[in-house]
């Protein structure tokens, strides 16, 4: 006889073999009379369930409506982000073209640039208004580098704008890249 067989107690064996055997606690709980809720209490419980479900559904409708509006506002964000470098190129190009003597060329490029800016503006794209001397705000600007401030009043202020920042429907999609005085 192995050691495992010797450790088996006949009393333990009977308990594990009889799945219908009830403990004394189960028998006592069955002997206690069960109290059924009154019909008024049942109605109140069902009303409570209904009100909770109704409130949950109303919250669901509000949340999905808000999510849908947010999706429509930012649906073309990727396309607009891809067009921002084009705006930068137009600005750099306009700086060079204005040095030219050909006024008709300047007017034509300005017309195209203004149409592009107008279209993007109608979609919610706005240029951040940043100028030299403005205080640096880490929530709106990205400091590329810090240089010694030429004057004491330019400490912790923007000295130069490297790249323009943009917002789409009041959400920053590209931070203005700036040089800050220290």
* CATH assignment of the domain containing 126: 2.30.22.10
- In order along the chain (182 residues), what is the average pLDDT of each group of 10 residues? 52 51 55 75 94 96 92 82 92 87 88 93 91 90 91 89 91 93 89
Measured CA angle at 51 (ends 48, 55), to 5 deg:
140
Number of domains in the chain: 1
Tell me if 159 is assigned to some domain: yes
Its domain, for residue 99, covers 77-181
Tell me if 12 is assigned to some domain: no
Structure tokens at 146: 């810090």
Sign (positive or negative) of CA dihedral 44, 49, 50, 55: positive
What pLDDT is recorded for position 180? 93
Tell me if 21 is assigned to some domain: no
Tell me if 68 is assigned to some domain: no
Cα 60 from Cα 38, distance rounded (Å): 33
Q: Are 87 and 120 in contact (CB under 8 A)?
A: yes
Tell me if 172 is assigned to some domain: yes
The SS3 of residue 145 is: strand
Tell me if 31 is assigned to some domain: no
Tell me if 168 is assigned to some domain: yes
Tell me if 88 is assigned to some domain: yes
């Amino acid at each position: 006889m192995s050691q495992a067989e010797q450790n088996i107690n006949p009393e333990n064996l009977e308990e594990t073999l009889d799945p219908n055997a009830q403990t004394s606690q189960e028998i006592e709980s069955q002997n206690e009379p069960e109290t059924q809720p009154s019909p008024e209490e049942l109605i109140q419980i069902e009303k409570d369930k209904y009100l909770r479900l109704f409130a949950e559904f109303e919250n669901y409708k509000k949340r999905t409506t808000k999510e849908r509006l947010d999706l429509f506002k930012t649906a073309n964000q990727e396309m607009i982000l891809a067009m921002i470098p084009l705006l930068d190129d137009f600005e750099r190009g306009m700086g060079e073209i204005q040095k030219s003597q050909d006024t008709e060329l300047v007017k034509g490029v300005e017309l195209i640039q203004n149409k592009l800016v107008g279209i993007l503006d109608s979609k919610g794209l706005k240029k951040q208004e940043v100028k030299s001397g403005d205080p640096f705000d880490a929530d709106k600007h990205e400091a590329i580098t810090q240089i010694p401030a030429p004057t004491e009043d330019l400490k912790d202020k923007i000295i130069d704008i490297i790249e323009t920042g943009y917002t789409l429907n009041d959400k920053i999609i590209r931070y203005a890249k700036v040089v800050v005085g220290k």
